[in-house]
Chain A
């Protein structure tokens, strides 16, 4: 059976070159980077190189890159680390309603500790308005955290403008750049104090990410122990994963993004032309090149996902049925989509492995799958 993977926003296949680069660090370069001997120093070289590559990509200094176990840990460290350090200055944090759960649930935990959190509304395309941020700022505000691009609908936020607002009030600005990283221009010089990244969304390994922390930013570590990661994150480094992360960034080919965007547009056009009663969720213009999110009215998303899976097509849904909480996607609800339409949503996120034939295959299978499920549906 043909297999088409359209869930690259969940994770991506590892590039063979990445795997190749990692292998020696499992074998001959197994040393502990904190060790002074040659074995340790060889491992340290691998980490240093990766750190430089990642720093260069976002126009930061290498000592501003802190490796973490992934995007979730980076978001936890950013929010809790700043909140706990700045507590004396104020207790107000601003974020948005469409953040990833690793930001939202961290914010909720901070609320339990006594911090006040404002969750900025977004418009129907998922955009945060810098003017709304300006209005939400109080004398107590210590941190603003708004994602660079959304993982469900692909909205690209006005990061530069939002950072500018925060900076004008001397408030720390953090952005979860996990989905945006490598896919859209990103420069910490925009006034960004902290930014979270993950390797496995860009063909790197799972279990590794990074937090950019601007020089001079005081942050309370979440994990204490040894002196690793400039005393901001203790624990022996995951050397092979860090090396793989660096390699993934090094070889990321931005030219492929144009091809991906073309395929995504072909997909969107095909779906809209071939299937009645379909809605494209999210922005038309300010969208990541790889994400398309649809609602097929009258069809529940998880059922459609399963139907497509049985034909070798992998994607994801914002339906409550697919969530352990049985709540429809908070992102789709925040952009004003009703619960029932959110239940009908399907996210297709493309990658560099996808071809024209893949999209043709999806456009052949999907209309029939929707038709079959509509036959069962009361609507």
Chain B
């Protein structure tokens, strides 16, 4: 039911854990559907002076697909500029994983939501 990539990332997820005093924290999911994802980001700057996602970590309560999508979205966002990270879609995540079972597609949505919420959270703090 799952692709090799999904299983591989489920078994050995990247960027697991929390960031102390993160610049942004995004939470997605709800206990009724089962999956809950938290994404932490730390912002830095590249040579051009653009803001980038310097570090990113996740905590997920969820199935193998939820864990694999969390891992994939953190890999996709890491090192990207904020405007690039905002453009990451659920399709990007699912495609990179070689596809997801239809019933698990919402997991990729959650992962992208959590990332976008973390960026929003950062931007909100910055403008305070």
Interface residues of A (CB under 8 A from B): 298-300, 302-303, 306, 310, 319-322, 324, 326, 328, 338-340, 343, 375-379
Contact = CB atoms under 8 A, between A and B. Distances in A.
B16 A376 contact: yes
A324 B33 CA distance: 11
Interface stretch (B34-42, B44-52, B91-99, B120-128): B34-42
A200 B40 CA distance: 48
Contacts of A328: 32, 34
Given A298-B61, A300-B62, A303-B63, A321 B11 contact: no
15 contacts: A300-B34, A300-B35, A302-B63, A303-B62, A306-B63, A306-B64, A310-B11, A321-B34, A321-B63, A321-B65, A326-B34, A328-B32, A376-B13, A378-B38, A378-B61
Contacts of A339: 31-32, 34
A379 B59 CA distance: 9
B59 A376 contact: yes
A240 B35 CA distance: 45
Nearest to A338: B31
Interface residues of B, number: 27
Contacts of B58: 376
B66 interface: yes
B75 to A, nearest CB: 15
Interface in B3-33: 7, 10-11, 13, 16-17, 31-33
B38 to A, nearest CB: 5
Given A326-B34, A338-B31, A376 B67 contact: yes
A371 to B, nearest CB: 13
Contact of B103 (A298, A310, A326, A338): A326
B2 to A, nearest CB: 8
Contacts of A377: 59-61
A358 B121 CA distance: 49
Contacts of B17: 375
Closest 6 CB pairs of A and B: A321-B63, A378-B59, A302-B63, A320-B34, A340-B31, A378-B38
Nearest to A297: B61
A183 to B, nearest CB: 31
B27 to A, nearest CB: 8
Given A300-B61, A303-B64, A320 B33 contact: yes
B99 to A, nearest CB: 17
B21 to A, nearest CB: 17
A375 B103 CA distance: 26
Contacts of A319: 34, 63
A319 B61 CA distance: 12
Nearest to B59: A378
Contacts of B35: 300, 321
Nearest to B29: A378
Given A324-B103, A326-B103, A303 B67 contact: yes
A340 B62 CA distance: 10
Contact of A378 (B11, B33, B36, B106): B36
A324 B102 CA distance: 10
Contact of B63 (A300, A310, A378): A300
Nearest to B6: A306
Given A300-B34, A339-B32, 10 more contacts: A303-B63, A303-B67, A321-B63, A321-B66, A321-B104, A328-B32, A376-B58, A376-B59, A377-B61, A378-B36
Nearest to A377: B61
Contacts of B32: 320, 328, 339
A148 B32 CA distance: 29
A259 B64 CA distance: 34
